[in-house]
Amino acid sequence: MSQFKFSVGPWNVHTGADSYGPETRKAIDLETKFARFRELGFDAVQFHDDDVVPNMNDLTEEQIKAEARKVKALLDKYGLKAEFVAPRLWMDPHTTDGGYTSTSKEDREFAMWRSYRSIDIARELGCDLIVLWLAREGTLCAEAKSPVEATRQLVEAINGMLRYDDSIRVCIEPKPNEPIDRSFCGTIGHVMAVSAATIDPKRVGGNLESAHAVLAGLDPANEMGFALAFGKLFTVHMNDQNGIRYDQDKSFGVENLRSAFNQVKVLMDNGYGQNGEYVGLDVKAMRTTSDEDSYEHLKNSLAIFKAMEEKVKKYDRAYADELIREKKFEQLEMYVMKLIMGI
């Protein structure tokens, strides 16, 4: 039995299309996904703004809220909560050069409009968390934007959201690259600095994604620990990544079990979840996966996460502390490896 609550996004069950090839699976409607998420043991759903209201650019604020209430009714039908809403600022023509840091004033205003609507949608769904994956907040041409001005624009954009709703919480999901060449906020350390510069730092935190830390050449458990140290790990995106290449959103733990063990351990050791935080997945099935196996990667990720929880519970802290006191780290490492391998 897990001590955690789990969340997942509808985009984690997808058609298999990627930058280099078309769909390989049939599209699945939101209600079918909700029903399956509940069966699999998820407690909440993560959303982009346009997952909730697909044609929101064409609607008024009141129409957007009305559409969001329909999705809330669907969540209620399946006993699911909404974890967060993320403005999708990387698909729209207005966001080709980024949103908050776009070189176009009109596009920066569009990004703020979508962010305010995301807050409206979150409120209708009954949640108080906005996630900003800053996909295009960076440059493709280094001289196109000033890193100083862009960082200040990012802080000001978040301040706008904090003023728009005086209790909303904003969470940056850092990623050092892809689809952008030079990100302005690529690690959880950048996120903590941006948070501290806002008008209400306690309402601005981080969403650490395992793969994004690996892409930055950093250790996911350490990155989670850094945000936990400041009380600002508002959520996580658990997955895996085979080294520094394109973002793979692999099932949790399938590439590096020791890293998976330490990610679960740092959460368990530091009370993550006690303030309602969810363990979020951000995983995608392989392109070769069949329609009937569309949810296997979610099942696998939950199973590996929960298996690691059991390993952490078996971790003999007294024995480990003794080895640490005696600086017997070779022995400690082998103890952990035997625990993980079950030998």
Of 181, 175, 65, nearest to 120 by C-alpha is 65
Spell out the residues 6+ positions from residue 203 whose beta carbon is closer than 8 angstroms to its own: 162, 167, 168, 169, 170
Q: Pick the binder of ligand XLS from 50, 120, 137, 209 (CB under 6 A).
A: 209
- Tell me: does residue 209 bind Mg ion (CB under 5 A): yes
86 binds, among Mg ion, ligand XLS, none (CB under 5 to 8 A by kind): ligand XLS
Alpha-carbon distance of 256 to 95, in angstroms, equals 35
Q: How far is the CB of 120 from Mg ion (least distance, A)?
A: 23
Q: Pick the binder of Mg ion from 237, 265, 284, 311 (CB under 5 A).
A: 237
Q: Do 79 and 37 contact (CB within 8 A), yes or no?
A: no
Q: Pick the binder of ligand XLS from 14, 136, 203, 237 (CB under 6 A).
A: 237
Q: How far is the CB of 267 from ligand XLS (least distance, A)?
A: 18
Contacts (CB under 5 A) with Mg ion, residues 262-321: 282
Binding mask 170-189 toward ligand XLS (x if CB under 6 A, else -) reads ---x----------------
The phi and psi torsions of 152 (rounded to 5 degrees) equal -70, -35
Among 14, 48, 212, 297, the one annotated catalytic: 48
In sign, the C-alpha dihedral spanning 60, 65, 70, 75 is positive
Q: How far is the CB of 278 from Mg ion (least distance, A)?
A: 13
- Tell me: does residue 240 bind Mg ion (CB under 5 A): no
In sign, the C-alpha dihedral spanning 138, 144, 150, 153 is negative
Alpha-carbon distance of 236 to 224, in angstroms, equals 8
Closest CB to ligand XLS among residues 133, 272: 133
- Tell me: does residue 136 bind ligand XLS (CB under 6 A): no
At 102 the three-state DSSP class reads coil
Q: Pick the binder of ligand XLS from 53, 56, 86, 121 (CB under 6 A).
A: 86
Contacts (CB under 5 A) with Mg ion, residues 20-79: none
Q: Do 230 and 196 contact (CB within 8 A), yes or no?
A: no
Q: Please confirm, yes or no, whether 51 is among the known catalytic residues.
A: yes
List residues with catalytic annotation. Answer: 48, 51
